[in-house]
Amino acid sequence: MTSPSPALQQTPRPHHGENTLLWTIWFAYGAFYFCRTNMSAAVPGLKESVDAGGLGLTATQVSYILGATKISYAVGQLLNGQLSERFSPRKLLAIGMLGTAVLNVLFGFGTALYFLIFIWACNGYSQSLGWTPCVRVLVNWFPVHRRGKVIGFIGTGYQATAVATFLVSGYAAQMYGWRGALWVPAGIMAVAAVVMLVFLREHPPDRDKVADPDGTLSAATIGPRNDPRHSVLENFLLTISNPALWLLGVSLGLLNACRYGFLDWGLTHLKEVQETGVGIAALKYAVLPLGAVAGSYVAGWASDRFFGSRRAPVTCLLLVALALLSLTYDYVARTSMPATIVLLVCIGFCIYGPQVLLVGTAPADLARRGTSAAAAGFVNCLGYAGAAGGDYFTGRTLDAYGWERAIFIWAAWALGAAVAAGLLWNATAEKDK
């Protein structure tokens, strides 16, 4: 038998166009946050009295709006995870991006509570068309041993755009009222949709000409392919019968309850306890995603480098740290502005390191028979169900007991998420996929 050439015995070469693909997804998925995280800058206006230009809503009423988008996002993740196995990710992304831009504009025209709940619920579904198509494209392009680093890099994208969102929406709200926090980001999102349509490619052009480590030429190097021959029902059954995905979903749900405590309510907390304007509070709060950029990348890299691509150890350790940091946050925010900024950077690091692993890398690794998008959608469904519950209990706790009790509850959720992730400490990618 002829020996394979030295070139073919090496680790498979990167595909042509990888850098363009990575930056396109980095920007496209990150852009969704312009029309999601912007609500944090609108919340203070929603709570202000009508005489001051707001809508006079209570924290509990605001929680209904915030919770509605999480519930619809959860349902959308479950459904769209299946659709992403069958339909063009590029088309699904375009529908989601343009839809969320339109819905943000409509929300800005609303005044009635039930109208706002309905529109923001629809926005949650449009937002759910973002992540699972991106996961499918990334799995098409990258093998398991590179996936932690790659998805970690993509995670830095929605942290960078979250920084921009806090700044843009915060100052838009300060200049134009709370509606400005909806309308200005919507315009940015529409431009991002056009950029995505121009540059995104769903598959590598040379996907069938890659050398396996043993020297054979095979497309299988890229990892498990999403098999269109599987029916939606088959994909769904493969997903829900996987106990590892349930644990990932529980961990993500508890983490998201804490995460959206900081994202949805944190800017309002900072504005109130430091008695500052929404624009200044947004400027301070924008450091949280800066820490998240580092956390997103470092967590993926560390799981590949130090734990043999096991995601649970890094996830568990960072969640314990998040719980401890959260316990100190309310006190620090009331006493020291510089210390608050440093603490927000650390909290961002500890939120988004595990979040990126739970939301994409771990489900893609532990999915069965290549159903990566379906797995990511299912885990995200459970994750955002937890986020919806978190928003509701945060709003009720604020109305009844105030900020300190609410933030202590966020810490408890982070600790619970660490316990769930710890049960998967030794889990690795499926060998038979």
**Residue 66 pLDDT exceeds 70:** yes
| Integer Cα distance of 24 and 29 in angstroms | 8
* pLDDT the model gives residue 366: 85
Task: State percent of the chain over pLDDT 90.
Answer: 50
**Residue 228 pLDDT exceeds 80:** no
pLDDT tens-digit map of 14-46: 666 788 889 999 999 999 999 998 999 999 999
| Integer Cα distance of 297 and 149 in angstroms | 7
On whether the CB atoms of residues 246 and 382 are closer than 8 A, the answer is: yes
Q: For the chain, how long is the longest CA-to-CA vector?
A: 85
Query: What is the overall mean pLDDT for the chain?
Result: 85
Mean pLDDT score, 362-384:
81
Comparing 348 with 429, the larger pLDDT belongs to 348
**Residue 301 pLDDT exceeds 60:** yes
**Residue 82 pLDDT exceeds 80:** no
Task: State percent of the chain over pLDDT 70.
Answer: 88
Comparing 96 with 10, the larger pLDDT belongs to 96
Comparing 370 with 66, the larger pLDDT belongs to 66
Please, which pLDDT band fits residue 369 given cuts at 50, 70 and 90? Answer: low
Q: Which residue, 245, 238, 218, is CA-closest to 371?
A: 238
* pLDDT the model gives residue 61: 94
On whether the CB atoms of residues 126 and 103 are closer than 8 A, the answer is: yes
How far, in Å, are 288, 336, 411 from residue 351 at the CA level?
Answer: 9, 22, 11
φ, ψ at 426 (rounded to 5°): -100, 10
Mean pLDDT score, 342-364:
90
On whether the CB atoms of residues 413 and 255 are closer than 8 A, the answer is: yes
Q: Which residue, 417, 376, 418, 413, is CA-closest to 392?
A: 413
What is the number of helices (H) and of strands (E) in the chain? Answer: 19, 0
On whether the CB atoms of residues 314 and 354 are closer than 8 A, the answer is: yes
* pLDDT the model gives residue 404: 94
Mean pLDDT score, 176-201:
94
Comparing 313 with 14, the larger pLDDT belongs to 313
| Integer Cα distance of 223 and 74 in angstroms | 27
Q: Which residue, 372, 169, 152, is CA-closest to 263?
A: 169
**Residue 349 pLDDT exceeds 70:** yes
Please, which pLDDT band fits residue 207 given cuts at 50, 70 and 90? Answer: low
**Residue 343 pLDDT exceeds 90:** yes
How far, in Å, are 8, 14, 90, 122, 165 from residue 154 at the CA level?
Answer: 29, 17, 17, 25, 17
How far, in Å, are 69, 197, 230, 239 from residue 87 at the CA level?
Answer: 24, 15, 13, 18
Is the alpha carbon torsion for 162, 167, 171, 172 positive or negative? negative
* pLDDT the model gives residue 350: 96
**Residue 225 pLDDT exceeds 80:** no
Lowest pLDDT segment from 88-92, 224-228, 387-391: 224-228
Report CA dihedral (414, 57, 163, 102) to the nearest 10 degrees: 120
Is the alpha carbon torsion for 219, 224, 227, 230 positive or negative? positive
* pLDDT the model gives residue 182: 95
pLDDT tens-digit map of 240-274: 888 999 999 999 999 999 999 999 999 999 999 98
* pLDDT the model gives residue 412: 97
Neighbours of 335 (CB within 10 A): 10
Domains by residue range for the chain, with CATH:
15-203+230-422 (1.20.1250.20)
Mean pLDDT score, 401-421:
96
